[in-house]
Amino acid sequence: MSAELGTLALSLVALLGFGVSTSLGSALAWPALRHALRRSHPERSARCLFAFATAATWLPLLLLCLCLAPGFLALIGVSQDHCLRQADRAHLCFAHPRLALTLPLGIVLSAAIAVLVAGSVRGARRLARWQRELTGLRLVGGEPLAAGARRIESLRPFSVTLGLWRPEVWVSSALVAALPSAQLAIVLEHERAHVRRRDSLRRLVAAVLSLPQLPAVRRRVLAELALACEQACDEAAARLGDRLAVAETVLAVERLIAQATPHPSLVGFGEGGVAERVRSLLEPAPAEPASPLHWWLGTALAIGAVCLAHPLHHLTERWLGWLLSVL
């Protein structure tokens, strides 16, 4: 049992190493990626940004699975046993675990499990709290406004899509009263696009899985993802007819909110999303993504993974061996 725990601790050290490498790689790749995505369709940008934001979690896990794959493949008889040739190194193999759980590895294992459990419990509690808040609002407030949308009595002008699993559109009575019906239809179409795309869920998953990213990079990627989601919904609303009308509606709502803000000093000011969205809507409609990029990327990733499994496994063992000798 101690040997299995030793291998588990070794795997966690490898995972940590992959995580740090991915975060640093993401930080280096971010400026170029951002530049490239600014020119693509917001739908595609949002998908790429989601994959990029969450890469700090899924890529290290994928790399660890690849490292462990040769041992498992040998165990089920798919490939030759590679273990005998690697006897003298830190051995990443659950089929033939060799490394006993030492005190430093035990500390790594316990700390990793403690951080993971504490973070998950804390996150789940916070999420449950906001879900309860939304459930309360759903039960108590609002009257039907249009399909999938509710009107809520409030002096504040706003329109939001609330909820993760079953998002709903909520529009305040102040906004309904202030906007002409054509602009209200644009607002509703924009919000319905958020519902169809499940943007709140997408952004929450991105926020959680991007936690291992460097904080400055994470902040920028999540802000860019939020902007891409808004722009994708603007494009959906623009399909009703006029891109300029969508730009005017964004500005009209921004002006209404600015006028109704009771303490302007308490809110942030910036170029932010509104300016980017309006400028983008003044440009011609971006071309729809021609090919399903994610299929190509997925296929390339799968082929790369198969080719890389063995070299990565041995490279990681060598690196872990060096690390253990230093420690």
Partner 1 sequence: MTQRHGLALGRLETVVLDQLWAHGAADVAAMHARVGEPRRLTRNTIQSTLERLYRKGLADRYKRGRAYEYRARLTRGEWLTQSLSRLLDATPGADSALVLSAFVDLAERTGEANLEALEALVRRRRRERGDPA
Give the residues lining the site for partner 1 (CB under 8 A): 126-127, 129-137, 139-141, 152-154, 156, 158-164, 187, 190-191, 194, 199-200, 203-204, 207, 219, 222-223, 226, 229-230, 233, 244, 247-248, 250-251, 253-255, 257-258, 261, 264, 267-275, 278-279, 282
Q: Which residues contact 258 (CB under 8 A, 6 or more apart)?
A: 264
- The least distance separating partner 1 from the CB of residue 172, rounded to whole angstroms, comes to 8
CB 254 within 8 A of CB 274: yes
Q: Which is nearer to partner 1, 63 or 184 (CB)?
A: 184
Please give the Cα distance from 176 to 197 (Å, whole number): 24
Q: Which is nearer to partner 1, 67 or 162 (CB)?
A: 162
Q: Count Cβ atoms below 10 Å from residue 31 Cβ, excluding itself.
A: 11
Q: Which is nearer to partner 1, 182 or 302 (CB)?
A: 182
- The least distance separating partner 1 from the CB of residue 21, rounded to whole angstroms, comes to 25
Please give the Cα distance from 48 to 65 (Å, whole number): 23
- The least distance separating partner 1 from the CB of residue 251, rounded to whole angstroms, comes to 6
Q: Which is nearer to partner 1, 46 or 312 (CB)?
A: 46
Q: Which is nearer to partner 1, 76 or 140 (CB)?
A: 140
- The least distance separating partner 1 from the CB of residue 271, rounded to whole angstroms, comes to 7
List Cα–Cα distances, 81 to 31, 71, 85, in angstroms: 43, 7, 9
- The least distance separating partner 1 from the CB of residue 58, rounded to whole angstroms, comes to 19
CB 168 within 8 A of CB 249: no
CB 190 within 8 A of CB 237: yes
Instruction: Label the pairing between strands 143-146 and 159-162.
Output: unpaired
